[in-house]
Amino acid sequence: MAPESTEKGSCERFVDSCDGLCTAEAWWPWNVLCCPLVLIYNSIVIYLFVCLRTILFRFWDCFCCCLCKNYCDEYYFYEDKNFPADPSSLSSREIPDKWESSTLKGLDYLGVKQKVAWCRPSEFLDEWINKHKDAKLNTEAGKEEEEQNERMQLFYKGIQPDDVVQGHLGDCWLLAAMAALSEFPESIQNVFVTKEYNPQGKYTLRLYDDYRSHLEKKDVWTYVTIDDRIPVDSEDHEPLFATPNGRELWVFLLEKAFAKYCWGYTNLSGGHALWALHVITGDIAFRVEYDEEKGDWEKLNLKYKKKWDEESDPLKKNPAERYVLTMDDDRYSDEKMWHLLLEYNKRHSVMICGKTNKGESKDDDVGIVAGHAYTLCETVEVDDLRMLQLRNPWGEFEWTGAWSDGDSKWESNPQVAKACEYENNKEDGMFWIEWSDWKKHYNNVQICHRTTKFDLHLDVREEDGCCGIVKGCVLGCGDFWCCCSGFRKIFLGERSKDETVEVTYCCGLFTKSVE
Task: Identify each DSSP E strand in 310-355 by its residue range.
Answer: 323-332, 350-354
Continuous segment of H or E residues that includes residue 39: helix 35-43
Closest CA to 173 of 303, 80, 82, 262: 262
Residues in a beta bridge with 202: 227
**DSSP conformational letter for 61:** I
Cβ contacts of 112-115, under 8 Å, gap ≥ 24: 112/87, 113/86, 113/87, 114/234, 115/233, 115/234, 115/235
Q: What is the pLDDT of residue 136?
A: 45
pTM for the full model?
A: 0.85
The answer to whether 297 touches 198, Cβ cutoff 8 Å, is no
Among positive and negative, which fits the CA dihedral 244, 250, 251, 257? positive
Q: What is the pLDDT of residue 135?
A: 42
- The set of residues, in sequence order, having a beta carbon less than 8 Å from that of 343 and lying 6+ positions away, is 501, 502, 503, 504
Per-residue pLDDT tens digits of the chain, which is 515 residues long: 444 334 444 444 444 567 788 999 888 888 999 999 999 999 999 999 999 999 998 888 887 676 666 667 677 889 999 999 988 888 644 444 444 433 344 334 555 667 889 999 989 888 888 877 654 444 444 454 555 556 789 998 889 888 887 666 678 789 889 989 998 999 999 999 999 999 999 999 999 998 888 888 888 999 999 999 999 988 888 888 888 778 899 999 999 999 999 988 888 887 888 999 999 999 999 999 999 999 999 999 988 766 555 456 666 678 888 888 899 889 999 999 999 999 999 999 999 998 876 556 566 578 888 878 888 999 999 988 999 999 887 778 899 999 999 999 999 999 999 999 998 767 788 899 999 999 999 999 999 999 999 999 999 999 888 889 999 999 999 999 999 999 999 999 999 998 888 775 444 443 444 44
Dist CA 33 CA 252 (whole Å) = 45
Q: What angle do CA 257, 260, 262 make, to 5 degrees?
A: 110
Dist CA 279 CA 94 (whole Å) = 25
Cβ contacts of 213-219, under 8 Å, gap ≥ 24: 213/282, 214/304, 219/282
Q: How many CB atoms lie within 10 A of CB 468?
A: 15
Q: What is the pLDDT of residue 490?
A: 96
Dist CA 393 CA 373 (whole Å) = 8
Q: What are phi and psi of 385, to 5 degrees?
A: -105, 140
Q: How many CB atoms lie within 10 A of CB 506?
A: 6
Q: What is the pLDDT of residue 358?
A: 54
- The set of residues, in sequence order, having a beta carbon less than 8 Å from that of 59 and lying 6+ positions away, is none
The answer to whether 208 touches 282, Cβ cutoff 8 Å, is yes
Dist CA 423 CA 488 (whole Å) = 31
The answer to whether 255 touches 267, Cβ cutoff 8 Å, is no
Task: Identify each DSSP E strand in 237-384 by its residue range.
Answer: 285-291, 296-304, 323-332, 350-354, 361-363, 368-370, 374-382
User: Which DSSP string corresponds to 221-236?
Assistant: EEEEEEE--EEEETTT
Among positive and negative, which fits the CA dihedral 278, 180, 133, 460? negative
Q: What is the pLDDT of residue 90?
A: 84
